[in-house]
């Protein structure tokens, strides 16, 4: 066995310093791989992917049955129904954001990768939005039509739901990271996340309402955007700190 010769450093082998710096994956490569891994996994576990969307569709479709099939009345309630359903659907998906990665040691490997954990979690949260927020935004027109929303309001609704769910994913990531050490964390996660998500609900519903009535909806949309930007800058940092604590 060659190893019997002991630890003498073989001449001619590249030192670790030089090879490591040449081959090191840059932060962009690392983030892209982290994102692609989550997307591929999601398509392997379609149940988790479909669950929040099915929930969203069900709430929207059951509402007219329970309240009234009159379009005028439905239209009045449409913003609230749409946003409450979107908020709860994205909450439902949050539980899976870090859960599996915490169990199988992926988060540990991310924390020890030499890259910023904040940055890799940002990639994960982006993947999460692509898998839940974006599909919700794309489903919003169908949901809107079934609630009697006029077609010209639909683009604004898609936009507001897309931005709003991004803010929800980001805000929710803090709660998801904080509850990593808790078994059956669903209830606690909702308690932590819902209060922080209220601004998104309020401005999102307001934007939708104004889109339906044809009013000036720039202000609430801008506020939604501001929330999302605030989330981008702060949420991954907070989530990374919480993940580090859970790893100890």
Question: Under rule CB under 8 A, which residues in 30-69 are in contact with other proteins?
Answer: 30, 33-34, 36-37, 40-41, 44-45
Cα 97 from Cα 107, distance rounded (Å): 11
How many residues sit close enough to other proteins to count as binding (CB under 8 A)?
Answer: 44
Cα 74 from Cα 30, distance rounded (Å): 46
Exactly one of 49, 83, 115, 231 binds other proteins (CB under 8 A); that residue is 115
Q: Using a CB cutoff of 8 Å and minimum separation of 24, what contacts does 173-176 make?
A: 173/94, 173/97, 173/98, 173/121, 173/125, 173/128, 173/235, 173/236, 173/239, 174/235, 174/238, 174/239, 174/242, 175/94, 176/94, 176/95, 176/97, 176/98, 176/99, 176/239
Exactly one of 90, 106, 126, 193 binds other proteins (CB under 8 A); that residue is 106
Nearest distance from residue 128's CB to other proteins, in Å?
16
Considering the complex, state which of residue 62 and residue 112 has its C-beta at the smaller distance from other proteins.
Answer: 112
Q: How many CB atoms lie within 10 A of CB 91?
A: 21
Per CB under 8 A, 19 contacts other proteins: yes
Considering the complex, state which of residue 201 and residue 247 has its C-beta at the smaller distance from other proteins.
Answer: 247
Q: How many CB atoms lie within 10 A of CB 148?
A: 18
Exactly one of 68, 109, 152, 213 binds other proteins (CB under 8 A); that residue is 109
Per CB under 8 A, 222 contacts other proteins: no
Q: Which residues would be at the binding site for other proteins (CB under 8 A)?
A: 1-10, 13, 15-16, 19-20, 23-25, 29-30, 33-34, 36-37, 40-41, 44-45, 100, 104-106, 108-116, 120, 247-248
């Amino acid at each position: 066995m060659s190893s019997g010769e002991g630890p003498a450093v073989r001449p001619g082998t590249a030192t670790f310093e030089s090879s490591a710096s040449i081959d090191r994956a840059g932060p962009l490569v690392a983030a892209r791989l982290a994102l692609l891994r989550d997307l591929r996994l999601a398509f392997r576990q379609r149940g988790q992917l479909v669950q929040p969307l099915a929930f969203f569709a069900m709430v929207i479709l059951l509402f007219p049955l329970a309240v009234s099939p009159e379009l005028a009345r439905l239209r009045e309630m449409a913003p609230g129904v749409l946003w409450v359903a979107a908020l709860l659907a994205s909450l439902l998906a949050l539980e899976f954001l870090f859960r599996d990665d915490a169990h199988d040691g992926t988060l540990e490997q991310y924390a020890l990768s030499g890259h910023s954990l904040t940055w890799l979690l940002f990639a994960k949260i982006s993947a999460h939005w692509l898998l839940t927020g974006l599909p919700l935004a794309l489903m919003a027109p169908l949901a809107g039509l079934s609630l009697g929303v006029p077609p010209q309001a639909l683009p604004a609704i898609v936009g507001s739901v897309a931005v709003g769910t991004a803010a929800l994913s980001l805000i929710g990531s803090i709660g998801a990271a904080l509850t990593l050490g808790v078994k059956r964390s669903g209830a606690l996660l909702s308690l932590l996340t819902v209060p922080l998500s209220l601004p998104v609900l309020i401005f999102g519903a307001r934007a939708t309402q104004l889109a339906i009535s044809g009013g000036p909806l720039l202000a609430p949309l801008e506020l939604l955007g501001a929330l999302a930007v605030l989330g981008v800058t702060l949420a991954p940092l907070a989530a990374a700190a919480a993940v580090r604590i859970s790893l100890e």
